[in-house]
Amino acid sequence: MSDPNQTQRPFRISSVIASLTAGGIGPVCLYAAKGMRKLTDWQVTLVSLHDPVGEFIDEDCGLRMVSLGLDKDCARLFLKWLSANPQDLVITSDVSHIEPAYPFISATTRHVMQIHDSGRRYRDVAVRHAAWIDGVTCVGQHIEAPLRTGLDAMGFQGPLRTVHNGANFPPLTPREPYPGPLRLLFMGRVEALKGVFDFVPLLHKLKRWRVPVTLNIVGGENEVLRRRLQRKGLDSCVKWTGRVPHEKCYEIAAESDVLLMTSRKEPFGMVTIEAMSMGCVPIAYDIPSGSTEIIEHGKSGLLAPLGDISAWAEHIRSLHQNRQRLAELSSGAIQRARGTFSAEAMARNLIAFLDTVMTFSGSRLAQRQSGLPPETPAIHQRAPRGYQRLPEGMREWIRNQVGSNPKLSYWLLNR
């Protein structure tokens, strides 16, 4: 790491997230922070903005974890923490409530933004703050390409790179041959925009083709989906497991054959690599997404054209009839996940990128302002806008209608 003071003190770096418990960003950033701490002599801090106030050191790796408990005036209070805890580099990940602080971060602190979503509004965060930042990383190449166009238009010259996510996988358990019905698995939010209504025509077609399968739905309930399955006489082959602890997901994946990744929008796909690491073969739509950057078609999983249920059914029928092919893909999935998408691989790639940022910023400093941003109100005082103002029942109906159409929902989610 190119730092003039490195011989005098450890390099100081903080990864800033909204919360450890909200969504998948917190856990992924925790994996990365632990990895950086283990692989370097850096002083690494994971900063949670909104979790209850607290601070401790992870005894396993020495990672410092700080929760600030912020609810109002977040930007100013974050800058106050940063002033009391000077950093050589700060990484921010989807932390909208401190965006007003970006122009006022000390000129001696490099600022890298991580983009975790493919939607335009997430990319625009980096674009509109291009003058204040020193580097940008994103979780997928399908995000990097349009992001580069936007940043180029703003005259941004700093490094931009894709750093795929990774995970710490549990020990691999042997997979015993299973001659029964093919065991299908879905893990995630059981909602229309995740493509769960595709299960109805898929199971219906497999039933007509006399392909025996079971489907385990892990992650929640969906009464609309349940009723649709019942009306088609498909509910007998479906098991609703609901929400389970994260470690249990690995056990379930180890006892499943095929992961259904029907999502129309998958910036990366932690569920995909977690299931693959246990030998569960993924099938996903062949669209620009994290799924197509993870899955090597015909080697570690299978892809199908967007909305083509017949292609999905044909893939499943082929795997049911050819269990040797299923075993080969299962082995390929394990190798792909554990070899390419481990937490250590992610941390190493991120370290290399940050080194590039420090080297580049030595000759080009991002612009910064002096002073403080305006005061901001408490988070809970922000009024809903547009779609969020509609009654929940109407919003659910819209989500179900849009989510039932793969091409429409893909266009809306990724525009």
Cβ(294)–Cβ(271) below 8 Å: no
Domain coordinates in residue numbering, the chain: 12-167+343-379, 182-340
Local confidence band at 376 (pLDDT 50, 70, 90 cut-offs): confident
pLDDT the model gives residue 415: 73
% of the chain beyond a pLDDT of 90: 78
| Res. 383: pLDDT tops 70 | no
Distance CA 269, CA 291 (A): 6
pTM for the model stands at 0.90
Helices (H), 129-245: 141-153, 199-208, 223-231
Tokens (6 digits) for 265:
């929008």
Local confidence band at 4 (pLDDT 50, 70, 90 cut-offs): very low
pLDDT the model gives residue 384: 55
pLDDT the model gives residue 111: 96
Q: Angle at Cα 184 formed by Cα 343 and Cα 335, nearest 5°?
A: 35
| Res. 167: pLDDT tops 60 | yes
pLDDT the model gives residue 138: 96
The pLDDT tens digits of the residues spanning 311-349 come to: 999 999 999 999 999 999 999 999 999 999 999 999 999
Distance CA 46, CA 58 (A): 11
The pLDDT tens digits of the residues spanning 222-233 come to: 999 999 999 999
The pLDDT tens digits of the residues spanning 70-99 come to: 998 999 999 999 999 999 999 999 999 999
Q: Do domains 12-167+343-379 and 182-340 have the same CATH topology?
A: yes
| Residue 198 DSSP one-character state | G
Across the range 165-183, mean pLDDT stands at: 93
Which residue's structure tokens are 């892990």? 218
Residue bearing the bigger pLDDT, 391 or 134: 134
Strand partners, 239: 216
Cβ(289)–Cβ(268) below 8 Å: no
CA distances 34 to 55, 111, 186, Å, are 16, 19, 29
Spatial CA neighbour of 87 closest among 63, 106, 60: 106
Burial class (CB in 10 A: 0-12, 13-18, 19+), 219: buried
Distance CA 290, CA 385 (A): 29
- 12-167+343-379 maps to which CATH number? 3.40.50.2000
pLDDT the model gives residue 177: 86
Would you say the C-alpha torsion 199, 200, 201, 207 has a positive or negative sign?
positive
Number of other residues whose CB lies within 10 A of the CB of residue 244: 13
**pLDDT, the chain, mean:** 92
CA distances 332 to 134, 204, 277, 342, 410, Å, are 38, 29, 10, 15, 28
| Res. 124: pLDDT tops 60 | yes
Return the CATH architecture of domain 182-340. Answer: 3-Layer(aba) Sandwich (3.40)
pLDDT the model gives residue 109: 95
| Res. 2: pLDDT tops 50 | no
Residue bearing the bigger pLDDT, 384 or 330: 330
CA atoms within 13 Å, Cβ hemisphere of 355: 11
Q: Provide the terminal-to-terminal Cα distance of the chain, rounded to the nearest Å.
A: 37
Distance CA 43, CA 255 (A): 40
